Structure 1
Amino acid sequence: MRSRVHKKSVIWIIIGVVIYMVLLTGLAVFFTSNSRSRMEEMLKHEMVDVAKSAAASIDGDMLDEIVNDNKNTESFKTIYDRLSIFLNKTNAKYIYAVRKMNGDVYSFVLDTDPNDPAFYGEPIERTDELVEAYQGTPSVEADVHSDRWGHFYTAYCPVYNSAGTVCGVIGADFEADWYQDELSVQRLWILIICISTLIMSVFVVVLVLNMSKREAMEKARERDELQVAKAEAYEANMAKNKFLEKMSYEVRTPIDRIMSMDEMILRESVERDVRESANHIRHAGNELLALMDEILDMSMIESEESEVMLVRYDPVLLVSDLTEMMQTRLREKDIEVHTEIDDKIPSILLGDLGRIKKCLLNLLTNSIKFTEKGEIHLSMKRERIRGTTVWIRFAVYDTGVGIAVDEIKLLYEAIEDFGKMDKTAVEGTSLSLGIVHRVLKAMDSSLEIESKVGQGSTFSFVLKQKVVDEKPIGDYERAREVMISELKGGEAISYTAPDARILVVDDSKMDLKVVARILKDLEVMTDTTDSGARAMELMSINTYDALIIDHMMPEMDGIELLRLIRENTENPNCNKPCIVLTGNTIDGAREEYLKVGFDAYIAKPVENGLLESVLYRYLPPDKIKTDRLFVKRQGV
């Protein structure tokens, strides 16, 4: 029996990895043939960063002091030495300074070329990108240009003096041959990364198989030593959980990026075949994410690492959110969902909202799985109330296949141990019931089951909740309509915000591109950076309407950046809305981020429409141009 369970576990792991491998293979084929423009954009962004760094390394006031070709002045020597040192550390061929002289004529001020430098006052070709940089916006030439030094792509960045005005421009020339070579290298890296990840996936399968085999051998040898076997089994279980947790996080990171890239394809492509393939990728990715989340949930529950997170919540919004989340799964079956909410339930409660939603979602998912047609009911009933404490019975009942009476006892025994769920093979149940049981146990509750074969099943539990607002919710449907009508609290709007400006901070260039693409659809002015230090610099010269910040970044993470923003009370951005964008999706993550000071939480990959909905709540109303309504989900 044990070998059969072991074999089933291995099969599920292999299926998950196969989906992952197919997903990566499809992406490799697509991006190697369709991503030239995206790679060019990334490469030019890198060129602009070189020009920005060079401009940041010199003093604008010293640049103002250079008025001739005298190389013996302190200002000339200092700037020349700094740019020369910087040039040797980059891929740029030449770095030089330019200033507007004699009206609208742009001329060289200083050139670091040791062999054939441009002389002071020598005119330089006027381009739109040069003019744009002199007006304060870093830019890079779209096409290659030629001069007496060769064929180049040039990036420009303004230099500011102490008065805050542009006193010149730093130009960085990159050889056209280098540019083409970099494009080829980046394409090659895409293929190498995908192939390497495929190899790693195969390695994980082999590793899991070997670990399972060793574990089975150890248990066989220790059968006669019961106490030792229990101790070592516990240690092996903890090691397995740590491994599964690490695997879940490590695998989720590339999946998030794949899903982000897929979202870009869906937003940008109009070709039917491409969109159909992208939708298949999204579907497979969502299945794989769900599998990883379930593995992580089981790992954390078994390790007893998941803590109770008490938050205030609205029962009306909870039920509305759950029914909305089930709609996609219900469309594939002839099933109707009904709600039965006691009108005497208090309007605001205090409890572990994350765990309550997890339990109800698992029960609803289980009912949908074993109900081909008919009805599924979600109910909340107030059983009793005493002072500021209320006892609520949550229930999900369906018209599915049902469970035989003699099998219900076996099911109760099985949910005490995840491994026994497979051994019982009780029709009408799934592993999700084991997860629900463990979660409820952590909240001092238990799962109750009533069922009849061919008629359906009822799964319920009672939770003790604190009352925050004792006012009854009244009629649920009416309360839900009122909630939806309050746009700022319960809805978002399809809108544009051309006058709004947002700063996005994330060390992942792909995530920056995805968010920037979403904001482009909203017509929002967007600045992006990959470091907290650079974000602080941008906030010192710009005022933003909202800040979107990644958590895990090198040198300065998102929480530290948030602290610096809030502490710098003289900066106009100190009280602006800060939204955390993170791949951390474990239980209680949202509450922890809100606790440290973030205004909203969004998990990666960004769900379609969610970022727009969150921004609608926090952007200034006078900068929003609305169009039509759409309902958002609770939990932002």
Structure 2
Amino acid sequence: MKTNCNHIKPNTFIVAIFSFLMLFAMYSQDTAEFPKDLDYYFSLARKYKNQNKIDIALETIKKAADIAEKNEDEKGQIDCFHQYALLYLKINNIERSKFYWERTKVLLNNIAYPFGSSQNAYLEAIYLYLENNNFQAEEKLAYIRQLSNDRNLINHVVLAEANINFQKTNYKKAATNYNALIINSDIYEKEYLTTLGHLGLAKVNYIINPKESPENATEALKLAKKNGFINELLEANTLLSKGYEKIGDFNSSLLYNRNLLKIKDSIYNLNKLKLNTRTADDIHIETLETENRRIEDRLKEAVDSKSRSESTTIVAFAILAIISLLAISLYRNNQIKVRTNTLLQKTNEELEVAKDDAVKAMESKTNFLSTVSHELRTPLYAVTGLTNLLLDENPNESQKDHLKSLKFSGDYLLNFINDILQVNKIDAQKLETLQIEFSLKKTLHDVIDSLQQSAKSNNTSLRLNFDDKVSYLLMSDPIKISQILINLVGNAIKFTKNGEVTLTVKQLKTIDDIATIYFEVKDTGIGISEELQESIFDSFEQGSIQINREYGGTGLGLTIVKSLLGLFGSTIRLESTKGKGSIFSFELDLKRKDTLVDDMAFEITPAEFVFEGLHLLIVEDNKINQVITKKMLSKKEMTSDIANNGMEAIELAKTNRYDAILMDIHMPGISGVEATVEIRKFNKEIPIIALTAISLDDSVENFFEAGCNDIVTKPFKPEFFYQKIGENIFSKKN
């Protein structure tokens, strides 16, 4: 029996044709050329972005997003959304940039993706910077450094820090950041970041050193021309025109101003030939609208045609069905956006709570470590004090060996506690750099002298190469500079046996009264493998368990160096080959004091004091420490009274005459600081030396403000203890 096509229902035709169209679309996709991977499109988009071809970059990311969606690759989708957000930042469309950034926050809530989280935090830091919330932006950038070691992302963090410092008019720190970009080793954007580094230095020097600004701008111009960085080409010519005008070279200024006009004209003509920059959604929606208009035109032609047929009607129904599906899809997307915004608001609230919890946890950790380190110092004072006393009492040879071992263990434990306290203070932002006059040459010799014995025990020569161009007197923080160098040189000695350690210091340049000093510590030791160089500055990290067992140490030295240099706005650099040694280097900007007298004594010889007959007051609540301190005084033929707390100290100071008071700070009842304040009300002359196990919350400035003349930190070396007593008593008498 034949089938009569005229009797088939229209609905059956609609289903059949729609199915055919869907199958054809699927077949077309399957037979198309297999697309490139995500990294290929990201690399291509990065290139177009840096050349300011934003529309092409957006279309490229759209291709990557299609791949990620097809493969249900959530991490790939997150990366694509981040790229969209960065591209919108490039054209200053902050609102659309934040839209994609917020979508990534929702996706990151469902999966663990550290790189995605660090990129998300980076975008948030940029938004904060654009809103002039510089402090919060810097906090976010510091968090990224802890979260990620991706070189490209860290280079962009350095760029953001440079821009923030420039915005804060902290030009020295900004220059340090821009210099770091110039020597970057980025595998994706090396030349682009170098260009931005030169442009940044040109802007900084335009303000602080106009003669050097054109040199940096010229380097940026060369790179921008070579790589087609349009925006940077404009900025370089602008800086050259302004820079030469500022230093009075008007011919050169006019030349670059003309170049600027030519470039702007060529860009204008080019823009007339290409589409305006569009977002990925704009491109997608515009394509749908164009297709809809084309279908509607064809439908109108079919309806107006005199030769209507049943097949035309069926096609019309199919087209209308497709349009309806598209409309439904757009409606669903809008609903998803509404739900996403609601979810984002909830997620933001949860993140705020999590942030507060993290801050509380950090404070608890800091307080715990501070308390532990402080409490350990008190019994350690007894251990080291009694050991020193026993060594002075002529023990027999077998006892002497045991006591020396005990002294070594006590010193090692003390160094460990000091390192923990130092890291804790840095983490809690309790440290600031001082600005006092000092001799860098003397500081360096003190460092070398203090480490010579360690070098000799390893059969290693320790040398100092000092540039005589360095100013004799400088303004900075000699204590923290000494700490940095002692850690670096001591570390080099520890890992170098039968070799050589060299400390090199030279002056790179001077701008007005600021000298840039280069420091380098080079050794011929075991070296550090390339894969361990990234983590060697982390806390408690020495490279491997074997190294820790063989050489000992806490693994905190390089962490302290990195953190202390951060206070100076500087960074540590490392070059090393395993088995051939290491080179650690950094730069500091120090204020010169050449106008001061340069003939002051280089070395200060410790004075010899006669302590016989002196009478001191010991203020100490710990019974063992009382005995040790009293015994140390009696060895130098000094007598003493003991006050068990602050109130007793005040009463004894009122009723007796003392040559000096040794004041413990942490005591039950009133503290040593409060007791000092009370004593100063009726006796302003007596020397008061704070004898304390200093903790995280202690402020040295508070001790001096209360009326203390000096500070000796427990545990201490006997010779240092006697020297401080003599200086404060006899200098007062003189």
TM value normalised by structure 1? 0.53
- Report SS of the residue matched to 2:387: helix
Query: Shift of the alpha carbon at 1:581?
Result: 0.7
Code of the residue aligned with 1:249 in structure 2: it is H
**Given the superposition, is the C-alpha separation of residues 424 and 500 from structure 1 closer, same or farther in structure 2, using an over 3 Å criterion?**
closer
Q: Which residue number in structure 2 is paired with residue 483 of structure 1?
A: 602
Among residues 482, 485, 489, which one is paired with 1:364 in the alignment?
489
Contact 1:354/1:587, CA 8 A, preserved across alignment: no
Q: Is the 8 A contact 1:392 1:463 kept in 2?
A: yes
CA apart distance, 1:609: 0.9
Find out whether 1:584 has 2:694 as its counterpart. Answer: yes
Which of residues 662, 671, 680 in structure 2 aligns to 1:557?
Answer: 671
Q: Give, in whole Å, the separation in 2 of the partners of 1:411 and 1:238.
A: 30
Partner of 2:460: 335
Give the alignment partner of residue 567 of structure 1, picking from 675, 678, 681.
681
Select the residue among 622, 630, 634 that pairs with 1:508. Answer: 622
**Matching of residues 346-425 of structure 1 within 5 Å:** 346-403=471-528, 407=530, 410-411=531-532, 413-415=534-536, 417-418=538-539, 422=543
Cross-structure match for 1:613: 723
Going from structure 1 to structure 2, the CA distance change for 1:244 and 1:492 (only over 3 Å counts) comes to: same
- Among 632, 635, 643, which residue is 1:518 paired with? 632
Map 1:71-470 → 2, pairs under 5 A: 236=361, 239-268=364-393, 270-403=395-528, 407=530, 410-411=531-532, 413-415=534-536, 417-418=538-539, 422=543, 431-468=556-593, 470=595
Inter-CA distance 499–299: structure 2 relative to 1 (3 Å threshold)? closer
Percent identity (aligned) = 28
Distance 1:411 1:231 in 2: 33
- Which amino acid is 1:558 matched to? G
Distance 2:698 2:477 in 1: 9
List alignment gaps of at least 5 residues for structure 1.
Answer: 1-224, 625-636
Structure 2 vs 1, CA of residues 231 and 418 (structure 1 numbering), >3 Å: closer, same or farther?
A: farther
Q: CA deviation at 1:363?
A: 0.6
- The number of aligned residues is 382
**Using the alignment, how far apart are the partners of 1:425 and 1:273 within structure 2?**
32
Once residues 411 and 451 of structure 1 are traced to their aligned partners in structure 2, the CA distance between those partners, rounded to angstroms, is: 10
Query: What letter corresponds to residue 401 of structure 1 in structure 2?
Result: I
Q: Secondary structure, in 3 states, of the residue corresponding to 1:544? A: coil
Q: Give the aligned partner of residue 98 of structure 2.
A: none
The aligned counterpart of 1:543 is: 657
Asked which structure has the greater RCO (Cα within 8 Å, sep 6+), the reply is 1
In structure 1, distance between residues paired with 2:389 and 2:500: 37
Q: Deviation digits for residues 453-492 of structure 1, max 9, x if unmatched?
A: 4443221211222344545869xxxx8xx433x43xxx13
C-alpha displacement of 1:604: 0.8
Preserved contact between residue 333 and residue 372 of structure 1 (Cα < 8 Å) = yes
Task: Give 3-state SS (helix, strand or coil) of 2:575's partner.
Answer: strand
Q: Give the whole-Å Cα distance in 1 for the aligned partners of 2:495 and 2:699.
A: 31
Structure 1 residue 418, shift from structure 2 partner: 3.7
SS at structure 2 position matched to 1:346? coil
Contact residue 244 and residue 295 of structure 1 kept, 8 A = yes
How far off is 1:359 after superposition?
A: 1.5
CA distance in 2, matches of 1:419, 1:255: 22
* 2:370–2:696 contact (8 Å) kept in structure 1: no
Classify the secondary structure of the residue corresponding to 1:252.
Answer: helix
| Residue 278 of structure 1: how far off its partner (Å) | 2.3
Could you report, residue by residue, the CA deviation over 1:370-410 in whole angstroms, capped at 9, with x for unpaired residues?
10022212233232333443322222212223345xx1xx4
SS at match of 1:609: helix
Q: CA deviation at 1:229?
A: 8.4
* CA root-mean-square deviation: 3.7
Residues 355 and 587 in structure 1, CA contact (< 8 A), matched pair in contact too: no
- AA paired with 2:496? T
Q: Is the 8 A contact 1:339 1:377 kept in 2?
A: yes
When Rg is computed on C-alpha atoms for both structures, the one with the higher figure is: 2
Could you give the per-residue CA deviations for residues 97-120 of structure 1, whole angstroms, max 9, x where no partner exists? xxxxxxxxxxxxxxxxxxxxxxxx
TM-superposed CA distance for 1:548, in Å, is 1.7
SS of 2:370 mapped into structure 1? helix
2:212 alignment counterpart: none
Mapped to 2, the partners of 1:432 and 1:594 lie a distance apart of 29
Letter in 2 for 1:301: I
Decide whether aligned partners of structure 1 residues 424 and 472 sit closer, same or farther in structure 2, where only a CA change above 3 A counts: farther
Distance 1:587 1:399 in 2: 40
Q: Given that residues 346 and 470 in structure 1 are in contact (C-alpha distance below 8 angstroms), is that contact kept between their aligned partners in structure 2?
A: no
Displacement of 1:602 = 0.9
Paired AA for residue 399 in structure 2 = V
Inter-partner Cα distance in structure 2 for 1:455 and 1:399: 6
> Which is helix-richer, 1 or 2?
2
Out of 640, 643, 664, the position equivalent to 1:529 is: 643
Mapped to 1, the partners of 2:685 and 2:626 lie a distance apart of 23
Q: Which runs of 5+ in 2 are unaligned?
A: 1-349
Give the Cα separation in 1 of the matches to 2:380 and 2:642.
22
Aligned position for 2:610? 496
> CA separation in 1, counterparts of 2:567 and 2:732?
46
Partner AA of 1:282 in structure 2: K
Task: State the SS of the aligned residue for 1:307.
Answer: coil
Task: Provide the rounded CA distance (Å) in 2 between the counterparts of 1:245 and 1:534.
Answer: 28
Superposition deviation, residue 593 in structure 1: 3.3
Deviations 1:347-385 (A, max 9, x none): 333323332222112111210121002221223323233
After TM superposition, list the pairs within 5 Å mapping 1:44-63 onto structure 2: none
**8 Å contact 2:693–2:713 — kept in the other structure?**
yes
